[in-house]
Amino acid sequence: MSSNTVTKRAYTKQPKVVKLISKEEKKELLSVLKSHVKTIKRETTKAQKEAEKEAKVAEKAAKVAEKVAEKEAAKEAKVAEKEAEKAAIKEAKEAEKVAIKEAKEAEKAAIKEAAKEAKKAEKEAAKAAKKAEKEA
């Protein structure tokens, strides 16, 4: 039952239905459209104003946050400065201790050296006295 013939379909355009509108209906439709346009304009202006208000609020919040951040940074800087000052004082005290220790050691060494020199001088004096006794 298969046939090799191709059947062509005839496509026809659907007829357009045009409704005639009376003047009153046109006026009514126009007034409805105008009212819709007005409400849409009002809504868009409201939305725009709200967006501007929100932007201002956000800007103020950003400024406040920036001030808070600056205060925090200043506090941290002060804390860091105090810590650095404490560290410098600590280092100075340690350096002072080391310097005192070295000065004491140098003083001890000088005393030992002076004692040695005194002993040498005493020995020399004793030798000189012995020579003087022998000569006399």
Helix and strand element counts for the chain (H, E): 1, 0
Domain limits, the chain: 20-101
Intra-chain end-to-end CA distance of the chain, in Å: 170
Q: What is the mean pLDDT of the chain?
A: 89
130 vs 5: which has the higher pLDDT? 130
Q: How far is CA 51 from the centre of its chain?
A: 30
Question: Are residues 51 and 58 in contact, defined by beta-carbon separation less than 8 angstroms?
Answer: no
Per-residue pLDDT, 8: 67
